[in-house]
Structures are given as C-alpha cells and as structure tokens.
Chains A and B, each alone.
Chain A
Amino acid sequence: MISLTKLTKIFPSAQEPITAVDDINLTIPAGEIFGVIGYSGAGKSTLIRLLNQLEEPTSGEVSVDGKTISKLSKQELRFARQEIGMIFQHFNLLWSRTVAENIAFPLEIKGEDKEKKEQRINELIDLVGLTGRGEAYPSQLSGGQKQRVGIARALANNPKVLLCDEATSALDPKTTDSILDLLTDINQKLGLTIVLITHEMHVIRKICHSVAVMEEGRFVEQGDVLNVFKHPKEAMTKEFVKQVTEPDDTEEALQHLFDGAHQGHLCRLTFTGNDAKRTLINDVIRSYDVTVNILQGKLSQTRHGTYGTLFIQMQGEPPAIEEVLAYIRRHEVDVEVISHD
C-alpha cells in the first residue's frame, strides 16, 4: 500500500544542513498497522509528513496506493490527499465549527452534495462514539473526544491510509487506550492501513503489527512486533521494550535489594505465547538441585501474541546453575544473567 524508496529529507539551515530522514526504504502492506518509534528529533514527524507531501522529499520516492506522490501535479496531489487521512497530536480542529461541521470539512472540500454529507456525518459520529455530540464545539469536549472528532474527520472521505502523528501523546493512559481500541476497530472494520508514530512502546505493543525503531533519520531495527519485543538487537530497542515489560525502577530496586549480599544468580527470562503456560520453573526446581526465588513478572499482550518477562533469583552449585540455564534456553526462553556473585 505504501512504499518508500531511498527517501531522504534534508532541511537547509544556517550552520549545517539537518538530515531529518536519511535514505529510508520501506514497504507497508495493505491493512497493516505500522508503528514508528523513536525519541524526540529522530525524524518521525518529518517521515510521516513526507507520506502526504506536507514535506517535499529532498530525494527518493513515496508511493501510496500505486501513486507516486512526489510526481503528482498540484491538483492531483490534492485529490490524492483526500484518500490519505491524518490525525494530529493536538487534534487541529476548527474551533469555530461544531463537531458535525468539523467532520463536514473534508466533505465540503471534496464537494459532496448536502444529503450525502449529512448521512456520512451521522455515520461517522456513531462510528467514533460521539452520538449526540454533533452540535457541541471542540472547546466543550475532552481531549479524547477531540481526537475522536479528528479521527472521524480523517475518515470522512473513505481514505485507504490513515496517518497518526503522536495521536495519543496529549492524552492520559486510559483515554489513550480507548483511542487505540478505536483505531484497532477501524483497522479491522474498514481494512485501513495505518501508519502511526509515537515515543511510547505501549502504543506499539497494543495495536501495531510491525514496528520500526528510528534514530537520527534511519531505521535501526524493524520487524514484526512480537519478534522485536522478544529479540531486541539494538540498545535503543531494548530501552523501548523495557518501557512496557518492566517498571522503570526494576533494575535499581534489584540492585538495592541484593547489594553485596549472597544474591546467587539474578536472571531475566523472556518468553512468548504458549511458553507462558508451561510450568518451566516448576520443572527446574524438581529436576535440578537449585532454589528459585521469583522476584517479579509481567505479561504483555501484543497483536501477535503474549510476551512476558520474569525476574528470578537462583541459588545452587555453579554446575547445576549452568545446567539450568541450558535447560531453560532449550525451551526457547531467553535468559539473561543480570548479575551473580
């Protein structure tokens, strides 16, 4: 549905030019929710704005639904944009218009007739769960409701692609989840391809099929979400994965807890899907001469299955410990020894 070829964007500046997007190649199949995660300044916004040509590429090509966006005339580009919806971090609604009128905006631009417009507006208001709020003004809505209007507006002309630029970053966790549920719902109901950018791994985990980790204009790691969660290669990816698998202070707390004492082996186990159901720890205790102390565990749900981490403390003779580690690894569970004495 979307393909990027050697896409580069360089902003000229007084000192040295800034390469915001650096030679990116990417293909996103139709119907997929593709997430891009990265820290501030990584070039995420620039990348997503290149997709509908709010930013012109310095070189390379963007093609959406078979059209090479960068080669269109001004008029053709306007038509193409009607097929690419976009939602924003700060919603960008027209405050002088009601909810219904805001949703009407893209329909007016396309020149839909009155009857069709009204019918479509009502459909959309229901779809995003704002039934009865059509006559309200944006200033009378909560952040989550504003984003729902933004989504309805973006969907008005039945786009094939939806671009989300930090769509949940201005919302609290609960509202974020409700908006993410809505996006998942839309993705399934309408078969829409969604590209979303974020700095929260939680968002990726919850709704994305694939993810790319972006740093300084490049993708440092890319793949389907479960794989990236299970085997993060780059340091940056590991940091992001930690955002959802362990509370911020886990390592600090463990260090503190076992400061200088007989700590044995502190290990982090990472497992997916059905592994979670197996009685691995039980088997270990029964078969080997070690003691196991469970410190912390967490299960997370991704679109492709469950993913979990478990922190344990193990004590025993070194050969036994080695055997246990090998045993665990044989069962396709990743073990990392954080520290041992």
Chain B
Amino acid sequence: MTDRLVGSAWMMQNVNWENMWEATLETLYMSVIALTFTFLFGILLGLLLFLSDRGQLWENKTVNAITAAYVNIFRSIPFIILIVLLIPFTRTIMGTMLGPSAALPALIIGAAPFYARLVEIALREIDKGVIEAAKSMGANNRQIITKVLLPESMPALISGITVTSIALISYTAMAGVIGAGGLGDLAYRDGFQRSNTDITLVATFIVLIIVFIFQYIGDFLTRKIDKR
C-alpha cells in the first residue's frame, strides 16, 4: 500500500497537467497583480507614515495616527480571517466572488500595510543631510519625494517588495477558501482531499519555483541599482 502510494507519487499518474498549468497561471496572476498594487499602495502608505511623522515634511499628528492605526490593524488580522471579513467588500467592488480576481482585494489589503512598514523603514534610512541639501537647493516637497526619497531608498524598496512577494504567494494559497483557485486550492482539493499525494507534491514544487524566481529577480534588481 505504502509502496503503491509512493510509487504513484513518483509516477505522477494522477496529475492532470492541464489543471496544474491553469492553477499555476491563476497563482501567477494573483501574485503579480496583487504585488503591483501592493507596491503602489504600500509606497503611498509608507510615504504617508514617514512624511506625516514628527519633524518631517508634512508633519501631521492626526494623519500619522490614522495611517499608523490602519496599518497596524490590517497587518495584525490573520489573512484567512481577513479574506472572510472582506467578502462583502470584494463582492461590491469586483462584482463577483468567483475566480482569482475575487482574491485580489484581500491580498492587496492584507499585504500593503505589511509593505508600508518596510517602506517607512527604508525612508528612515535616508540620511537627513541629503534631504536638507535638496531643500537648500530650493527643491519643493514633490521634488524631494520624486528625486530624493524614492530613488535613494529604491534598493530597500525593492528588497522589501521581494520579501512581501513571498508572503503574498503564500497568501494566494489560502485564497482557495473563497474559491479563487490557484495552486494552493488545487493541492488542497484535488491533492489532499482525494489522497493524491503526487498532485500535492507537484503543486508544492511549482510554488517553490515561483518563490525562487521572485526572490532571484528581486535580489538581482536590488544589486543592480544599489550604488552605495
């Protein structure tokens, strides 16, 4: 029996490659779209956190407190619960609860606050003297953000989004709960529930490859733009 199970896992005879490919595309779709929005949204939130803090360009206690509260709350809710909580919201803005798109709002809302903190840390690392030099040359706030803050912190922003992407990929696996599809969903439904170990193993293997690729691209970009 055990022999047969292991044997079938190695033979991958239960694997429907078409389904596997489709699930892979779904996972990639969810990851890439969610990552793009997380990057933009996270940078906005991170900038807001940083700039509204004491002694910064847009010092504002209220804005800072509200942003920090939002970030802390959404960073703390376990993702699986966040998905369920967001079902009504998702239905309103996406118009559907079916397919990988339905997972996007939860993925973005869950990952952006996490990334926002990394962005804030990256911005804090910038030497205050450089910001001051820009001011002394007559730069306005918009120029300071686009010409100093973002370019100077870019390597840290990229390595931050790489870390976030790994977390996001694991979130997509949970998105199966609401029927979003993807490799996690496939591994759970077709693999675990029907005792097809080979499907679970193959799905896991593909997830690992996706993670490695993201990590590789992230590290490569970070190294390439880091001129320090």
Contact = CB atoms under 8 A, between A and B. Distances in A.
Interface stretch (A8-16, A77-85, A206-214, A279-287): A77-85
B151 A97 contact: yes
A115 B88 CA distance: 56
Contact of B137 (A81, A95, A137): A81
A205 to B, nearest CB: 27
A88 B134 contact: no
Contacts of A97: 151
Nearest to A110: B138
Interface residues of B, number: 21
Interface residues of A, number: 29
Interface in B172-224: none
Interface stretch (A61-69, A101-109, A125-133, A234-242): A101-109
Given A81-B138, A96-B154, A139-B227, A88 B133 contact: yes
Contact of B152 (A54, A82, A95, A109): A95
Given A54-B132, A94-B152, A78 B139 contact: yes
Contacts of B124: none
A201 interface: no
B127 interface: yes
A121 to B, nearest CB: 15
B130 A105 contact: no
A67 to B, nearest CB: 13
B227 A96 contact: yes
Interface stretch (B69-77, B106-114, B140-148): B140-148
Contacts of B135: 54, 81
Contact of A86 (B133, B139, B151, B152): B133
A92 B130 contact: yes
B225 A96 contact: yes
A84 to B, nearest CB: 8
Contacts of B4: none
Nearest to B153: A96
Interface of B is mostly: helix
A79 B225 contact: no
Nearest to B130: A92
B136 interface: yes
B152 A92 contact: no
B61 interface: no
A54 B136 contact: yes
Nearest to A75: B140
Contacts of B134: 105, 109
A90 interface: yes
Given A105-B134, A106-B138, A92 B127 contact: yes
A108 B144 CA distance: 12
Given A96-B154, A96-B227, A139-B228, A105 B137 contact: yes
B55 interface: no
B138 A96 contact: no
A52 interface: yes
A94 B151 contact: yes
Nearest to B136: A86
A13 to B, nearest CB: 14
A82 B137 contact: yes
B228 A92 contact: no
Interface in B101-133: 127, 129-130, 132-133
B138 A92 contact: no
A130 B34 CA distance: 46
A88 B127 CA distance: 13
Contact of B136 (A81, A93, A138): A81
A156 to B, nearest CB: 8
Interface in A107-162: 108-110, 137-139, 153, 157
A137 B151 CA distance: 14
Contact of A95 (B133, B136, B139, B227): B227
Residue of A86, A88, A94, A96 with highest tally of chain B CB at under 10 A: A96
Contacts of A138: 227
A107 B143 CA distance: 12
Interface of B: 127, 129-130, 132-140, 143, 147-148, 151-152, 154, 225, 227-228
18 contacts: A54-B132, A54-B135, A77-B138, A80-B138, A82-B137, A84-B136, A92-B130, A94-B130, A94-B152, A96-B152, A96-B154, A97-B151, A105-B137, A106-B138, A108-B147, A110-B138, A138-B227, A139-B227
Given A54-B135, A79-B138, A88-B133, 13 more contacts: A78-B139, A82-B137, A86-B137, A88-B129, A93-B130, A93-B133, A94-B152, A96-B152, A96-B225, A109-B134, A109-B138, A139-B227, A139-B228
Nearest first, the 4 closest Cβ-Cβ pairs linking A and B are A81-B138, A92-B133, A92-B129, A78-B138
